[in-house]
């Protein structure tokens, strides 16, 4: 037995402690030290016996990601390029709320974390997709991204979104284990409704996520409700008919009673015409969803450009007038390539 500590979920840590012939309450202590207090070495667990600390170091070594680059946006967002134990790199973004407490600290701190090293989806508008796919991230590697941001800001993380590099539902089991660590009162204690997972539309993942007992939130990256357009800009989604995707969202709500959101990246003359708007209205008809419009962020070398503000305003008014709750999502960190679609492990 010699497996990285990051491999284990909550239940598996409990089993590990049992295999090391330690009483069950030690698991609670270890989880608390690593994922609540955020220690960077087992040696820092002061009330854990030395024999257990040494056994953990031998059988389940703890790896803390190294910050190899950090950039700070004019809007306060911070983007990190992290190096993992095997040298793989991922990006993570810390996003403080614009409103602050009396001491100047942000009232909320959101972390956009990655679920894979690179991404296999190859969406044409996304910088990450151009980097290709290396491997899935382990549960602890995802949680450590959140802890890294928390340490750097010196503030508690209140919200997490799996919207960084990767397609979360192609790493489903590890992602759910990570979410449960983030949600656990023994660990980060982030409320389930403040945990969001974004998918390009992996239907088996949507169906499975509907049956998870926690109140985690689902976001669908739709980006076009016209089949031919979506197939062109999201080539790995070609085998997913929009009718099936709509049915999956409807089933998700009926099973989970949780309202999903639809993310729509607005690209000038690509998916922001009147026919595109009509298609989105038809797709949302009969669904209980919230629509987030995201004007595209500029990506170096990309042929795509953001929709004009007047077009975005027209879409919002039209969606709301038709009874579909919609808003423009606040984009943060675009000046440091830390906004939606820009993550590609670029060193500043």
340 is catalytic: yes
- The secondary structure of the chain, three-state, reads CCCCHHHCCHHHHHHHHHHCCCCCHHHHHHHHHHHCCCCCCHHHCCCCCHHHHHHHHHHCCCCCCEEEEEEECCCCCEEEEEECCCCCEEEEEEEECCCECCCCCECCEEEECCCEEECCCCCCCCCHHHHCEEEECCHHHHHHHHHHHHHHHCCCCCEEEECCCCCHHHHHHHHHHHHHHHHCCCCCCCCHHHEEEEECCCHHHHHHHHCCCCCCEEEEECCCCCHHHHHHHCHHHCCCCHHHHHHHHHHHHHHHCCCCEEEEEEECCCCCCHHHHHHHHHHHCCCCCEEEEEECCCCCCCCCCECCHHHHHHHHHHHHHCCCCEEECCCCCHHHCCCCCCCCCCCC
119 is catalytic: no
Catalytic, out of 91, 131, 141, 263: 91
Catalytic, out of 119, 123, 284, 340: 340
Q: Which residues are catalytic?
A: 91, 340
């Amino acid at each position: 037995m010699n497996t990285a500590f990051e491999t284990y979920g909550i239940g598996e840590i409990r089993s590990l402690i049992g295999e090391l012939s330690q009483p069950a309450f030690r698991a609670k202590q270890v989880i608390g030290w690593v994922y609540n207090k955020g220690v960077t070495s087992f040696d820092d667990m002061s009330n854990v016996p030395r024999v257990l600390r040494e056994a953990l170091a031998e059988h389940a070594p703890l790896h803390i990601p190294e910050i190899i680059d950090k950039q700070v946006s004019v809007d306060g967002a911070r983007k990190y390029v992290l190096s993992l134990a095997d040298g793989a790199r991922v990006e993570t973004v810390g996003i403080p709320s614009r409103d602050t407490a009396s001491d100047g600290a942000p009232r909320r701190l959101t972390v956009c974390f990655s679920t894979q090293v690179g991404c296999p989806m190859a969406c044409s508008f996304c910088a990450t997709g151009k980097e290709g796919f290396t491997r899935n991230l382990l549960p602890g590697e995802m949680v450590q991204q959140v802890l890294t941001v928390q340490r750097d800001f010196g503030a508690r993380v209140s919200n997490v979104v799996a919207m960084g590099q990767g397609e979360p539902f192609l790493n489903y089991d590890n992602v759910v284990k990570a979410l449960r660590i983030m949600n656990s009162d023994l660990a980060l204690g982030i409320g389930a409704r403040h945990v969001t997972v974004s998918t390009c539309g992996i239907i088996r993942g949507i169906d499975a996520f509907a049956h998870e007992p926690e109140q985690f939130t689902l976001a669908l990256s739709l980006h076009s409700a016209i089949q031919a357009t979506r197939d062109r800009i999201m080539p790995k989604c070609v085998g997913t008919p929009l009718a099936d995707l709509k049915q999956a969202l409807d089933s998700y709500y009926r099973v989970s009673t949780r309202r999903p959101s639809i993310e729509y990246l607005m690209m000038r003359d690509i998916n922001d015409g009147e026919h595109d708007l009509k298609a989105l209205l038809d797709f949302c008809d009969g669904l209980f969803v919230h629509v987030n419009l995201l004007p595209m962020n500029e990506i170096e070398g990309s042929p795509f450009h953001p929709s004009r503000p007047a077009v975005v305003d027209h879409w919002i008014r039209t969606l709301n007038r038709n009874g579909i709750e919609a808003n423009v999502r606040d984009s943060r960190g675009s000046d440091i390539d830390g906004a939606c679609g820009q993550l590609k492990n670029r060193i500043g």
